[in-house]
Structure 1
Amino acid sequence: MTSHADQPNVARTLTGQSGGEIPRDDWSAGRGRLFLLLVAPSVLLLVLLNAYPVFYAALQSVRNGTLISPGEFVGLSNFAKVLQSPDFWHSVRFTAIFTVSGVAGSWLIGMALALLLRAGVYGGGTVKVLLLLPWVVPIVVSSMAWNWLVATPDSPMPTLARMLGFETPLFLADPLLAAITVCVFKVWCSFPFMMLIMSAALSGIDRSVYEAASIDGATGWQRLRYITLPLTARTTYISWILMTIFCVNDFPTIYLLTAGGPIDATTSLIVLAYRLVFQNFQTGPGVAIALMMTAAMVVVSLILFRQIRKSGGPA
């Protein structure tokens, strides 16, 4: 029979097969070392796969090389050249517009659809599957479909505009219309992603909270403002971080639809970096743009993570 005085010692030990007692602390330490030994090769491989490209890119940004020649060391002149280029600042402007419209538009539509689906619609499962199609369909197919809709004066959308009495709009030839079309295309491709995330966040809110608010006389707008938005704030900020990264780094959406034209109206930073590196063979300036994009994304992510902490989320 074990006395009360012996119980702490028994709780702190494990019995080995030989009958001897192995201290729990030693057993846990051995298990931890074994775990580190097992995961070390995978961690090392991941570090090498990610660290080497970043290190090589940093070297390229301070040289005047090409894709086949490393070139000579030029210091920060590539960064200075980029910052003095009007094309760079034009791309910064369009990237900001493209990102803000993509994040805000996809979130507003995704949130609205998530609320609608939570309220209950006939054939909700089928509707949700259909709403996922813009995100599920490969971007190549989507861009081809949009080109068919708007690319030429005889496409369906310009034809419809003429039937309504408007002049024939050149959606991909007019700089302003091309920029608007690309932004709308991005929202169309991205809102299902936001809808899924916000649907998951809404499913975590107990319906009794809304019932209690209704009993207290809260209107639909008040329930949205004081219940739904605060309780989904963490998920909202996380979705904004992800969508910001997606928009800034989105190359195919722009390139497949307009290739950055007309007259560079839809040239984002990632498209400009691609042109410099793979078309003009100016590796240094192109990589410099990519590194500045990475630094900007880190700053934006830190700001949004601070908002997550303020909303009570883990950080």
Structure 2
Amino acid sequence: MASSSTGALVRARKGVGVGGRGRPPRSVHHRRRNRFARVFAIFALPSVALLLLLNLYPVIYAALQSLRNGSLIDSGTFIGLRNYTGVLHDPNFWHAARFTVVFTLVGVFGSWAIGLALALLLRTRIPGRSIFKVLLLLPWVVPVVVSATSWNWLVATPQSPMSKLFAALGFGNVLFLADPLLAQILVCVFKVWISFPFMMMMMSSALASVDVNVYEAAKIDGAGKWQTFREITLPMISRSTYISWVLMTIFCVNDFPTIFLLTGGGPVRATQSLVVMAYLTVFANFQTGPGVAIAFLMTIVLVVIATLLYRQIRKVDIE
């Protein structure tokens, strides 16, 4: 009896039940994994094919169009990289590139600064905080068509409320959408206004993940509010900050409706970004090759920026 119980314990340590055969051999596990992988590949193949058809084919077709001198109704003839060289030698392209850089920098860091400040404010105990949160989300929730129409009503004509206000303050007849510099400032401010709620939500979630005990320890050590913010808050939320910068950079560079609905790229191309220039080149001038070439150059720049910021995110994860 003792020997049978000892044998049962030995079999149990080896993974063999009293009346069972124990674990299957390693080869059986290997065959099961291979069978599962084949079944998974069979079921995933239609989805992968559909994704390639919906994403890869348009990219390849657009790349071929950028190498031709066609239009919307004619593919044209093959001209190689002539569209890219023509775009890079166009002064209007570099003007649009400069404005895109300014628009992106103001949009990213302006919305991030305001969003972070509001996220810190909402962590304090202020009356009506829940209602305040909902109201702050309105610029992001309201469709951009409605927002652009409202801002046009505010500034578009001499009879607009903002124009009358500036005239009453002694600034004369200020035409925001007729002056190139004022139009650029207005577009950048509008972008920050519709984007800060997104940044506020990103920063609020990042701040919520910071351990409160860290702030208590810093307070005990005698750290001031600015020192705590600089040495603790910013490093602790740096990962979310870099992610928000990547997303907002993509949003700003590819932002077509904000500019087009507010100014149409004018006056005299002052607010024409690269995405607006690409659209007008294709659908207004019917030059498919140069327009698609502009879009591909934008994509290359976005990939480089996203890669650099992604490296910063990896450094934060390692640290």
TM (norm. structure 1) is 0.93
Structure 1 residues 179, 38: closer, same or farther in 2, change over 3 A? same
Q: Distance in 2 between matches of 1:236 and 1:313?
A: 16
1:264 aligns with 2:277: no
Give the 3-state SS of the residue equivalent to 2:9 in structure 1.
Answer: coil
Aligned to 2:9: 3
Give the 3-state SS of the residue equivalent to 1:218 in structure 2.
Answer: coil
1:198 to 200, 203, 214: 203
Aligned to 1:276: 281
Q: Distance in 2 between matches of 1:85 and 1:10?
A: 77
Spell out, residue by residue over 1:1-47, the C-alpha distance to the aligned partner (whole angstroms, 9 max, x if none). 64346534459xxx89xx99584443344333322322221122111
1:178 aligns with 2:147: no
Structure 1 residues 193, 10: closer, same or farther in 2, change over 3 A? farther
Q: Distance in 2 between matches of 1:309 and 1:71?
A: 45
RMSD: 2.0
Runs (5+) with no aligned partner, structure 1: none
Spell out, residue by residue over 1:223-245, the C-alpha distance to the aligned partner (whole angstroms, 9 max, x if none). 11111100110110010000000
Letter in 1 for 2:63: A
Please tell me whether the aligned partners of residues 176 and 182 of structure 2 are also in contact (alpha carbons under 8 angstroms).
yes
Aligned length: 309
CA shift at 1:248, angstroms? 0.3
Q: Distance in 2 between matches of 1:313 and 1:134?
A: 36
Give the 3-state SS of the residue equivalent to 1:41 in structure 2.
Answer: helix
Structure 1 residues 33, 281: closer, same or farther in 2, change over 3 A? same
How do 1:7-156 and structure 2 match up within 5 A? 7-10=13-16, 21=24, 23-156=28-161
Runs (5+) with no aligned partner, structure 2: none
Aligned to 2:303: 298
CA shift at 1:212, angstroms? 1.2
TM (norm. structure 2) is 0.92
Please tell me whether the aligned partners of residues 109 and 195 of structure 1 are also in contact (alpha carbons under 8 angstroms).
yes
Please tell me whether the aligned partners of residues 91 and 272 of structure 1 are also in contact (alpha carbons under 8 angstroms).
yes
Q: Distance in 1 between matches of 2:71 and 2:34?
A: 51
Q: Distance in 2 between matches of 1:167 and 1:200?
A: 45
Q: Distance in 2 between matches of 1:267 and 1:39?
A: 43
Structure 1 residues 233, 20: closer, same or farther in 2, change over 3 A? closer
Please tell me whether the aligned partners of residues 274 and 294 of structure 2 are also in contact (alpha carbons under 8 angstroms).
yes
Please tell me whether the aligned partners of residues 15 and 23 of structure 2 are also in contact (alpha carbons under 8 angstroms).
no
Letter in 2 for 1:7: R
1:239 aligns with 2:250: no
1:250 aligns with 2:255: yes
Please tell me whether the aligned partners of residues 16 and 23 of structure 2 are also in contact (alpha carbons under 8 angstroms).
no
Q: Distance in 2 between matches of 1:33 and 1:144?
A: 54
Q: Distance in 2 between matches of 1:46 and 1:183?
A: 35
Give the 3-state SS of the residue equivalent to 1:312 in structure 2.
Answer: helix
Q: Distance in 2 between matches of 1:211 and 1:161?
A: 48
Please tell me whether the aligned partners of residues 234 and 313 of structure 1 are also in contact (alpha carbons under 8 angstroms).
no
1:214 to 219, 223, 232: 219
Aligned to 2:169: 164
Letter in 1 for 2:204: S
Highest Rg: 1 or 2?
2
Q: Distance in 1 between matches of 2:54 and 2:316?
A: 35
2:231 to 226, 230, 244: 226
Moved >6 Å (runs of 4+): none
Identity %: 60
Please tell me whether the aligned partners of residues 152 and 262 of structure 2 are also in contact (alpha carbons under 8 angstroms).
yes
